Structure 1
């Protein structure tokens, strides 16, 4: 794999469009107008369609930063596979704010119903037991959605009297995992179950006796690397403007775990929550029911 493995070839094509020499510009125009089919053409076919020579096609590929036509074709195919749903997306037709609210809530309801059937009560109970008795919990997530869930979970659990923190950096996750031992919990969140940093951190924590819990997709490297796997196969909505379904569901699962742990450790949890509310009442003066820390 070359150093340009993460190179956005479509953006590069757009940036250089109009600045190629005349012959290479023919190739660029053809590719931009035929992103999908261009990945299925041979070098001779593209040359013929653009009325240029094969060496011109190869020079065009090198101008873009590719080592040759094969490298260009592989990169373009990968780029198109990821980008097509965004390139083809039309402007969202929300039909007013109310319709938008209904669409977002519809995603949540549909996903929540699908997930309820997948959650295993026995596995959830094992996770609650481990977390309720934990001396310390480290929540780990990478990227946007999973990192957000990890942060929210740490915010929920420290209020129950359990030392908790969220770690998003891969090296920090490894370091934190190495400090854990029996009685501690490493909780990994991942919608894909593939991030190597999470898998390796899980293995490190288990090596030192910590309990590793994962909220992730079934039959993935992360699910296999932990002690307790809360696995969910969550289909994402093809509408790219709607929220990520897995993030919504993962937040609900975390809320369920936190509520269950709070009830199991009710004496400690109630006292910690009371202290927090008392400390905040001095700040905002509100004494009635309201979210803790809002």
Structure 2
């Protein structure tokens, strides 16, 4: 496809970009380009906010080079041409500005101050979550989990992977066969083995992760029950049979870990607790066996978290 025939709003397919971070690429090639290409690079770095509105002729004139030089410069940075370069740069700036222009105090936060900040964010986020939850969806999720032959839990990324693993840890204690996965290929394969008596529980902070949405579609096609804990109005929430939806705020402090994972964890714990009460006879015996095995293993008999 030629430079002129490429759709002005077209980008390479997801996962096929030649360069992911043009801002870093500009720094990496600094001093290594041909003289005229370096002029373009210098102008772009000095006027990075305005490049997306310029034509190739305008950039060439501003940098005092020819338009072919601009195209060579774009290709030196891994882009097919100027249109792709502009779009990639605009996309990169959109996600990078919160870091480039971050309002970060020069004074390091004390641990006590950091603790207050983290706890405050958790309280705020948990309160927002509580007001948004649909109790009927929670009940549906509880019943689906209770009636499951097996529970497959999936999440990709730091927070979602942790939540998936924690869900498997919660539910196996209650006598439900539970497995956590966080590999995109394994998720697809495991989802394809599910049956109508099985349940797939999915965690996703965005609700748009391809592997997670794909797993929901595969599991649904084979009749399995599907539950998501994620944002509303997303591909995932529209695919699963039981969407538990929360749209949670995030703190603008780029150094503070996300508080939403604590809210998701509270939802998970509430589900596990409600399942335990609904199946208390079987659950009590499972918990007794687990405690007995741990006591035999380490010899401690006092109150402790159960197997955590």
Using structure 1 for the length normalisation, give the TM-score: 0.94
Is the 2:237–2:243 contact (alpha carbons within 8 Å) kept by the matching residues of 1?
Answer: yes
C-alpha distance in 2, partners of 1:257/1:34? 52
1:1-294 → structure 2 map (5 Å cutoff): 1=12, 3-4=16-17, 7-89=20-102, 91-92=104-105, 93-294=107-308
Is the 1:180–1:208 contact (alpha carbons within 8 Å) kept by the matching residues of 2?
Answer: yes
CA shift at 1:22, angstroms?
A: 2.2
Cα-to-partner distance string for 1:58-85 (whole Å, 9 max, x where unaligned): 2211211212111111111111112221
CA shift at 1:189, angstroms?
A: 1.0
Question: Which of structure 1's runs of 4+ aligned residues deviate more than 4 A?
Answer: 90-94
CA shift at 1:6, angstroms?
A: 5.4
The runs of 5 or more residues in structure 2 that have no matched partner are 1-11
Is the 1:94–1:100 contact (alpha carbons within 8 Å) kept by the matching residues of 2?
Answer: no
Q: Which moved more, 1:160-169 or 1:142-151?
A: 142-151
Q: Which moved more, 1:84-93 or 1:101-110?
A: 84-93
C-alpha distance in 1, partners of 2:99/2:260? 19
The runs of 5 or more residues in structure 1 that have no matched partner are none
Is the 2:207–2:235 contact (alpha carbons within 8 Å) kept by the matching residues of 1?
Answer: yes
Cα-to-partner distance string for 1:174-205 (whole Å, 9 max, x where unaligned): 22122221221111111111122222222222
Using structure 2 for the length normalisation, give the TM-score: 0.90
Q: How many residues align?
A: 294
Is the 2:104–2:253 contact (alpha carbons within 8 Å) kept by the matching residues of 1?
Answer: no
Q: Which moved more, 1:102-111 or 1:14-23?
A: 14-23
C-alpha distance in 1, partners of 2:176/2:47? 56
